[in-house]
Structure 1
Amino acid sequence: MNNIMIEINDCPLGLETEYQTLFTKKASNFLAELFLEFEPRINQLYYDRCLRKYELKKSTNSPQFLRTKQRQDKTWMVKPVPGRLADRRLDLGDVSPSNSNHFYEALNAEVQGIQVDFDDGHCPTWRNQIVGLYNVYKVVHGKDDKILKSLKELPILMLRPRAWNMTEHNIMINGKKIPGAIVDFAILMYHNGSRLYEENSGPCFYLSKLESATEARLWNDIFIWTQNRLNIPHASIKACVLIENILASFEMEEILFELKDHSLGLNCGIWDYAASIIAKFGNRSDFILPDRNKYVNMKRHFLKKYMELVVQVCHSRGAHATGGMAAQIANGVSPLKAIISKILEIQAGVDGFMVYDVELVPYMNQLWNKICNTKINQLDHIPTDLISEADLLKMPSGGVTNIGLKHNVEVSILFVYNWLCGNGHFTYKDSVEDSATAEISRSQVWQWITHTAKLEENCEIITFELIRELTQNFVKSTIPSLDKKYLIAAANIFLDIVSSAEPPDFITTYLNDHYVFRRIHGSSVINRYNHKL
């Protein structure tokens, strides 16, 4: 019998009940057993990502579609989803359960699902993790006095654990820190999985930032192990994979196959996907992305074909294909811009998409009813156009505007600032900004500096000195209510990132590991559990 040491930081002040409910000895043991079972394969995942990244950097070759048996065999299909999941038309996105008011508002909305987000729209401070996990627990177990509906009457909770790039610094197993993805999934499943299954309400997951079918196979095996361990029937867990990495777009068929019994289809979103192109190919001048506000949208060839391919692959295998999130905040303003963008997605054949603002929900429901009438999905719509590797890699033409450059600088700094304050997303200029928009913003700034791009207005070269000047001006002129100390720290962190010779793949990884963030939100008191496996 192997002796296991589980070390968990003590609870933040005032969260004793939440902490003791979540991190019981049995739940902690389940977490440890799950991690140790899959630790070698998780380590291999990190190694494979690094190896693939640097192989791409030293080569001029571009990725190709895999020539696998799964792709060539046109007969296999994903397992049909249970009744409630046949309708995926509208989810609310970026709903961090640590923001209790927003979470409760989402639970009462007329939507099919809620992206209960521990990733892009969430800041994983120890306090936020405990509050968020406990809020989910209360809703699932009917222990929240503010929620009067049963689970079957509520929107389905689409649980989104952190992606593999995030480490949980507050938990160690045998002296090793473990991935945030494992912590979130294990605690969510241990406390809620059986109940969600019994109530025909899941358990359902969004899986973020997968890069290959091998990673999908790892998740599938984690699902099987967990179902066996918790005595939940096979194929109870359903997961929608977000195709938000350029490499994953070349393995969609294989990703669906690996999750075949547990698949809830694929999702496409614009900004993480576009940022991943810079992360993988940003050193190459033929992959420069122009001003995102002016030249990058779902009408552009590489994104239009990406969405068409998601629909084509999913529908040919009987799986749902969903689109991205409308980030617009209504604020009493006409939602026409959001409606137009979602019309394009519906016409492309998607079965659903997300919005952030609850005020947009009635408009989107009307839109679905108007275009699709009583149809709850578009699985019968299968595009037949042949989509090539070149289609996915055809960068749009265009330059950089002064307004677009400033906007990227501002979004990047404000995202870092909000993370230092413990917020995973924020609203700015009538849009919600999260890690996805921060990723594309800071990535573009770095790429434009690296390749000496020019401003359209006056042909001025974008240099680090220009970015530093824009940063200083923004810090001086920004909202007085912001904490100046945190704002200056955020500006300096942003400048460090965009001046790096080798920028981080993920801004959230960089911030989560940064000494400033950990000094603000860290904890040093540890509870230890000995456990024999």
Structure 2
Amino acid sequence: MTQDSSLDLPDGVVVTGEIHDRYDEILTADALALVAKLHREYGDRRDALLLARAARAKDLIDGGTLDFAAETAAVRAADWSVAEPAPGLVDRRVEMTGPTDRKMTINALNSGAKVWLADLEDANTPLWENMIGGQLNLLDATRRQIDFRTDEGKSYALKPADELATVVVRPRGWHLPEKHITVDGEPVAGALVDFALYFFHCAKLQIEAGRGPYFYLPKMESHLEARLWNEVFTTAQDVLSLPVGTIRATVLIETIPAAFEMEEILYELRQHSAGLNAGRWDYLFSIIKKFRTRGEAFVLPDRNAVTMAAPFMRAYANLLVQTCHQRGAHAIGGMAAFIPSRRDPEINTTAFAKVREDKQREAGNGFDGSWVAHPDLVPLCREVFDDVLGEKLNQRDNLRTDVSVSAADLLDVASTPGKCTRDGLANAVSVGLQYLASWLAGSGAVNIFNLMEDAATAEISRSQIWQWIHNEVKLDTGETVTTSLVETIIDEELAKLGDASYADATALFKEVALADDFAEFLTLPAYDRMP
């Protein structure tokens, strides 16, 4: 696709995505100049950090391990705190997550949640139309100029400003490019595009509304990646003449390397820090990925059998709460995948019970709030945290001095209860196929078997299959997991789905689950298939 000539572009910037109605309101010369500035100043650093990730990953595959780094021990021993919570981020007892399509934007802001995680990453497919359309929806919502009407005539509009959730935007991870925008001939990191466009257009409007430009940062693996984000923030604030610390960011601890650098990550972002989040699903994916060839010690049972009660997951959650609260930061719990059904009372009852159990565990462990993926779950999550918080706005005073977590605790995957079953393998295949079909069609958050599936949960499914094959795992049926067995199950699951539209999803699924070479993220080859 060639560059669109309808835009006023800075020197060196090329936009090849199709320009639809109002896209010029987002892709302005000044906004794209910020994208270009960030790319030119930090693009090489981003590339170097991705190479460092790959080197560390190779070391783990070759038999290395992880530990709390000696070179940053002084940071962990020092007396320091992050900045005090910013306006709109003091009380975070319930956070609603979801993509930035127009209807979801309105429903999430109106949901009664304290925070809306406006997701440009795992719950979103990075179609050009989704990325720029999402930015328009965020801008319209910030201006309070957003509404939506269904084909059936149902209308959606925003509630009064004091009833709306605080917007926290999740940009793409460092690894994903935005192929429709190049600077000096190079694709720009999707993270920089998403951040810069939202920040440029909405930062001052959010400040005027009594909030601020707030972000969730995904997929980081080291404090050096957090340092890079901190410098990006400082530069962007300088461009708009905003004080350092105006931006606030919550980091998702969703990789196993990052779990060993929680304090260092908070330290690097301390002026801009809004805390840490227990991104449990990507965390499981990261453990499988990093130790995928290391034998039984790192083979997990069926995906749906692994809960936060598993010893290594409990250690991770407790360490996150302790780390955050000892540094004055918020600790935010993760997503319970169960979602309610307004049509099936039995499913609804089960979902509510599972989510209540999960949120009670988190509130009891000292988390300051947690995530839900459906508006119907907002009151439940709020009720659970209300019971624990009482009159308080958060639990940052709960220092969890009882917690002592070692490197061995975080790596104790082998003690996870559960079995590797044929039913579990079939479920992983079906979820992978259905999710990838939806992703390729433009939707990144999907209800499959009454669970909310996004890119993170799909990653667990396909990476676990790869791991089971390459470690010759035996199932409850006595069968050994092989490529041939998985191909048989793929045919069985496709027959159940009964839809010829799965050809592209099947080819992609086989590429990321069955190929000898392990794809670092399924979204990379998936993105290559997109226009």
TM-score (norm 1): 0.91
Question: Hey, what does 1:115 align to over in structure 2?
Answer: 117
Distance in 1 separating the partners of 2:275 and 2:76: 19
- Secondary structure of 2:173 counterpart: coil
* Residue 221 (str. 1) matches residue 239 (str. 2): no
Q: In structure 1, give the amino acid aligned to 2:428.
A: N
Tell me if the contact between 1:327 and 1:357 (Cα under 8 Å) persists in the aligned partners: no
- Secondary structure of 1:157 counterpart: strand
Distance in 1 separating the partners of 2:76 and 2:123: 37
Distance in 1 separating the partners of 2:397 and 2:31: 43
* Residue 189 (str. 1) matches residue 185 (str. 2): no
Select the residue among 373, 384, 409 that pairs with 1:367: 384
State the shift of 1:370 in Å: 2.1
Distance 1:180 1:349, change over 3 A: same
State the shift of 1:82 in Å: 2.3
- Counting only pairs closer than 5 Å after superposition, residues 167-206 of structure 1 correspond to structure 2 as 167-206=177-216
Q: In structure 2, give the amino acid aligned to 1:16.
A: D
Select the residue among 284, 287, 293 that pairs with 1:277: 287
Distance 1:107 1:65, change over 3 A: same
Q: In structure 1, give the amino acid aligned to 2:443.
A: N
Tell me if the contact between 2:288 and 2:298 (Cα under 8 Å) persists in the aligned partners: yes
Distance 1:154 1:70, change over 3 A: farther
Distance in 2 separating the partners of 1:150 and 1:177: 40
Question: Hey, what does 1:527 align to over in structure 2?
Answer: none
Alignment gaps of 5+ in structure 2: 1-9, 148-155, 343-347
* Residue 380 (str. 1) matches residue 400 (str. 2): no
Distance in 2 separating the partners of 1:477 and 1:147: 40
Distance in 1 separating the partners of 2:376 and 2:115: 16
CA-based RMSD? 1.5
Alignment gaps of 5+ in structure 1: 523-533
Between 1:327-336 and 1:223-232, the stretch displaced more is 327-336
- Counting only pairs closer than 5 Å after superposition, residues 298-309 of structure 1 correspond to structure 2 as 298-309=308-319
- Counting only pairs closer than 5 Å after superposition, residues 294-373 of structure 1 correspond to structure 2 as 294=305, 296-332=306-342, 333-334=348-349, 335-373=352-390
* Residue 131 (str. 1) matches residue 133 (str. 2): yes
Select the residue among 507, 511, 516 that pairs with 2:526: 511
- Counting only pairs closer than 5 Å after superposition, residues 74-89 of structure 1 correspond to structure 2 as 74-89=78-93
Question: Hey, what does 1:7 align to over in structure 2?
Answer: 14
Tell me if the contact between 1:151 and 1:201 (Cα under 8 Å) persists in the aligned partners: no
* Residue 247 (str. 1) matches residue 267 (str. 2): no
Select the residue among 3, 18, 42 that pairs with 2:46: 42
- Secondary structure of 1:84 counterpart: coil
State the shift of 1:123 in Å: 0.2
* Residue 16 (str. 1) matches residue 16 (str. 2): no
Question: Hey, what does 1:472 align to over in structure 2?
Answer: 491
Question: Hey, what does 1:233 align to over in structure 2?
Answer: 243
Deviation per CA, 1:67-98, whole angstroms, max 9, x where unpaired? 325444341011101242110111111x111x
Question: Hey, what does 1:61 align to over in structure 2?
Answer: 64
Tell me if the contact between 2:110 and 2:163 (Cα under 8 Å) persists in the aligned partners: no
Deviation per CA, 1:491-519, whole angstroms, max 9, x where unpaired? 12111222222211211122112xxx22x
Question: Hey, what does 2:153 align to over in structure 1?
Answer: none
- Secondary structure of 1:163 counterpart: coil
* Residue 287 (str. 1) matches residue 305 (str. 2): no
* Residue 425 (str. 1) matches residue 431 (str. 2): no
Tell me if the contact between 1:406 and 1:470 (Cα under 8 Å) persists in the aligned partners: yes
Distance 1:279 1:388, change over 3 A: same
Distance in 2 separating the partners of 1:30 and 1:422: 28
Select the residue among 170, 175, 199 that pairs with 1:165: 175
State the shift of 1:360 in Å: 1.0
Distance in 1 separating the partners of 2:64 and 2:157: 54
Q: How many residues align?
A: 502
TM-score (norm 2): 0.92
Identity among equivalent pairs (%):
36
